[in-house]
Amino acid sequence: MTLPNERTRAIIQTEIFLIELSKDKSIADEKRQEARRLLRHYPSRKEMLLAGEIEEKLTSGTLFNPIFSSTLDTVIPDSLTSSLYEDTDPQQLARNVENTQSADKSKQQIPTVIWRAAVELFGGNQSAADQWLHSEAMGLGWKRPIDVMQEDTQKVLDLITRIDRGVYT
């Protein structure tokens, strides 16, 4: 799943790449002209961030997720260290989940893959994703996703996918 901020960043980076192509004298004239033609119709960084802001406002409180973001990076909580969980299979992720101290002493580490999927599900709203992960879910037999993923990370990922696609079971 691609997050709204990743989509936004990709479009902005593509614009920068097209600008560089259009100015590079070592590239054939026809290629530079094609880059300029594409740039005429390509959104600017400012336009992309504005589109993200508008989408976030329009989709707030609805079942829809914004396509773009008004910020370029989603902040992942300090309790997550993505380097620990990158390129790890779901069973390994489930074994790596550990309890951490928090204000209510019930908060636990969330593997990056599940955190990202939950944030995407809630349109980039991190507090809604965190609340959902710590609330009982009907699709998990009224267990909290944070508890279920200790035993079976894939179950939580499957539920997120079903919710995202509107599959009611």
Output the pLDDT for position 157.
Answer: 86
Q: Tell which residue, 169, 160, 97, 93, has the closest CA to residue 133.
A: 160
pLDDT digits (tens, 9 = 90+) for 15-67: 888 888 888 899 999 999 999 999 888 888 888 888 888 888 888 888 888 88
Output the pLDDT for position 141.
Answer: 92
As a whole number of angstroms, the distance between CA 100 and CA 145 comes to 16
pLDDT at 132 over 70: yes
Q: Domain ranges in the chain?
A: 4-59, 82-165
pLDDT digits (tens, 9 = 90+) for 81-124: 333 334 434 444 344 333 333 333 333 456 777 888 888 888 88
Taken as a whole, the chain contains a residue count of: 169
pLDDT digits (tens, 9 = 90+) for 147-162: 998 888 889 988 998 8
Output the pLDDT for position 133.
Answer: 92
The pTM score is 0.42
| Residue 1's pLDDT band (cuts 50, 70, 90) | low
Output the pLDDT for position 26.
Answer: 93
As a whole number of angstroms, the distance between CA 43 and CA 51 comes to 10
